[in-house]
A and B are shown apart, each in its own frame.
Chain A
Amino acid sequence: MADQIARRRSVLDGWALPSRAGLASLTNAGTAARFVYRGAPELVGDAFGVSLPTVPLRAHAQSGRAALWLGPDEWLLLSAEADGSTLAVALSSALNGKPAALVDISHRQVGLIVSGSSVEALLNAGCSLDLDMTTFPVGMCTRTLLAKAEIVLWRTAGDTFRIEVARSFAPYIVALLDEAMHGIA
């Protein structure tokens, strides 16, 4: 009997991610370990290595890890995929016996990086937030809607956003942004 080998595939494998030279481009953020944590922010800050932001709509990022504020007691924790299992153990033991919830959602969603000088106009094709630097500065993150899909939007640099979207919505988001790229200048 031939050996059975499970091969890991991303939902975006085989998709040509769109770009328009100089204006905007879409890239796959690659695999990541992701957790949704609900509870008191101080319980996991030390174990995670990055303090959890308590200011609404802010993200803290440091040495490859990031904690994104999603709600008053809810955070999205991002890390390298290789750290996932050790991080899960470290966070769980920090929470031992405490009233909190930690859910591994690493494979539930995919990350997309959108960047370029017209990135705000591109995202505004489906997102009604004001993405100007004065109202949506670097380090701001939020759960919101991009057309019909719920996303987490995080501004990591002046002309770069990270989108976290449910795996099943990823092809829709890529197709939507592909269309939208025809309309930006």
Chain B
Amino acid sequence: MLLITCPYCCTARPESEFRYSGEAHIARPLEPATVSDDDWAAFLYMRTNPKGLHAERWRHIHGCGRFFNALRNTVTDQILKTYPAGTPRPGLGAPAEGGR
């Protein structure tokens, strides 16, 4: 079982308290009516799907209930950092693992 540190509860909690919610840092266009069909389709469906470091949304659904973001290595399944939703993707202080 993964232990995931919730940035709001500030403690490591078992994976079963969390839900995965897809890739992070995908902003909905502010004026959807002005977006072309191709760009809208890209916003809805196109994801980076990297092998390696991936920024993704998680929700502490059986804890504080809040969404936050996590940097996870999709190869090793190791969660390297978690940070509150709405904050920019942090660096790790070291070259990113894996390749895009």
Contacts and interface: CB of A to CB of B under 8 A. Distances in A.
Nearest to B64: A71
Contact of B14 (A70, A71, A72, A128): A128
A71 B11 contact: no
B17 interface: yes
Interface residues of A, number: 13
Contacts of B63: 142-144
Contact of A72 (B13, B17, B62, B66): B66
Nearest to A55: B10
Contacts of A128: 1, 14, 16
B55 to A, nearest CB: 21
A91 to B, nearest CB: 21
B40 interface: no
A129 B64 contact: no
A150 B64 contact: no
A143 B11 contact: no
Interface in A130-155: 142-145, 150
A142 B1 CA distance: 20
Contact of A129 (B1, B8, B14): B14
Contacts of B75: none
Contacts of A71: 8, 64-66
Interface string B1-42: 100000011110110110000000000000000000000000
Contacts, number: 39
A70 to B, nearest CB: 6
Given A57-B11, A128-B1, A142-B9, A74 B65 contact: yes
Contacts of B16: 128, 145
Interface string A57-77: 100000000000011101000
B8 A70 contact: no
A56 B62 contact: no
B16 to A, nearest CB: 6
B1 A70 contact: no
B86 to A, nearest CB: 12
Nearest to A71: B64
Interface in A29-54: none
Contacts of B10: 56-57
Given A56-B9, A71-B8, A143 B14 contact: no
A70 B66 CA distance: 10
A140 B98 CA distance: 39
Contacts of A56: 8-11, 64
29 contacts: A56-B9, A56-B11, A57-B9, A57-B10, A71-B8, A71-B65, A71-B66, A72-B8, A72-B64, A72-B66, A74-B64, A74-B65, A128-B1, A128-B14, A128-B16, A129-B13, A142-B63, A143-B62, A143-B63, A143-B64, A143-B65, A144-B13, A144-B17, A144-B62, A144-B63, A145-B14, A145-B16, A145-B17, A150-B62
